[in-house]
Amino acid sequence: MLDEYLYGKVDRISPEAPVPVVEISSTRMLLGGAANVAANVEALGDQPMLLGLVGDDDARSRLSELLGERGITSDLLVTDESRPTTIKTRILAHNQQVVRADREKRHELSPEIEKKVVDKFLSVADDCSAVIISDYGKGVITLSLLERIIDECLKRDIFLAVDPKETRFHNYKRVSLITPNHHEAGFASGRRINDMDDLLAVGADLMERLKTKAILITRGPDGMSLFQQDSEPTHIPTFARQVYDVTGAGDTVIAAFVSAVVAGADLIESAIVANAGAGCTVAEIGTATVSVDQLRAELERNVSNGKLVERP
């Protein structure tokens, strides 16, 4: 996806309808969706290979340009002429989002396009240290595609992490890691997370049903909670920080977690790294990447501010 930002100011209401008139002063176009995950992986020193669908349009060209600026190949992108390249346009005034407009089609990919995606994956699978699936519910992550990717990762013992869509939770069985937020986890389990008892019940339920190795539930200002097989849950608290924008925070979380795993960290250490990465991202407006130096500084700040993990 592409994330387009239009910045401006508001000093009047439209005479045509009770809506603000935003006087646009500047624009930005950034990598979004799975492309933002890839950008975060690259910023942390790893080499991502981005696989996904684009349309046959100008936005595809712009996406390829932005990827090229980061040294990320666009060779694995598959063109689907039945859909446009997804663009999310956000209009902001005085650092507040006024409205978002999406240009996209969300139908499931055809068998022919799905085969192209699988073939692209198989062409690079043996070179992968880990795989991240970012499911934004745009029709790309079909059940048959997901099952094929899971089988191939298991065959090769590749760490497979999924940023899930809440309506598809039953599809993510046997993966290495799932990173839902507390709303998505509660929805999937059929129980709203209001307190620690709810959190523990939801985490245990999802671990049992999905047979995954780990679930990292992100909880906004309350931090993150890591559930693992045959282990007590671990809570990673957040540390006080000005929050400007949560856009893209989930992308940073899964990228930082998987990069840490690939570097040799255990799952708790990886969750601490991911928590620090999220802390950096929410302090910026718009989708953002976190450099190694920023991540190191945030980890040092967290260490100095208090206990990094807690047992509930």
Model confidence pLDDT, tens digit, residues 23-43: 999 999 999 999 999 999 999
Lowest mean pLDDT among 148-152, 168-172, 231-235: 168-172
| Averaged pLDDT score across all residues of the chain | 91
Tokens of 102: 């999406």
In a domain, 52, yes or no: yes
Q: Is residue 20 part of a domain?
A: no
Q: Note the pLDDT of residue 282.
A: 67
pLDDT tens track for 258-312:
999 999 999 999 999 998 888 887 656 555 688 889 888 888 887 887 767 776 5
Residue 31 covered by a domain: no
Q: Has residue 16 been placed in a domain?
A: no
Domain membership of residue 130 (yes or no) is yes
Q: Is residue 117 part of a domain?
A: yes
In a domain, 298, yes or no: yes
Please tell me the pTM assigned to this model. 0.90
Tell me the residue range of the domain where 71 lies. 47-84+105-305
Which amino acids are annotated catalytic?
Answer: 251
pLDDT attached to residue 245: 45
Q: Quick: pLDDT tens for 200-247.
A: 999 999 999 999 999 999 998 888 999 999 899 999 988 655 544 445
Inside any domain, residue 235: yes
With cut-offs at 50, 70 and 90, classify the pLDDT of residue 248.
low
Q: Count of domains in the chain?
A: 1
Percent of the chain with pLDDT over 70: 93
CATH number at residue 288: 3.40.1190.20
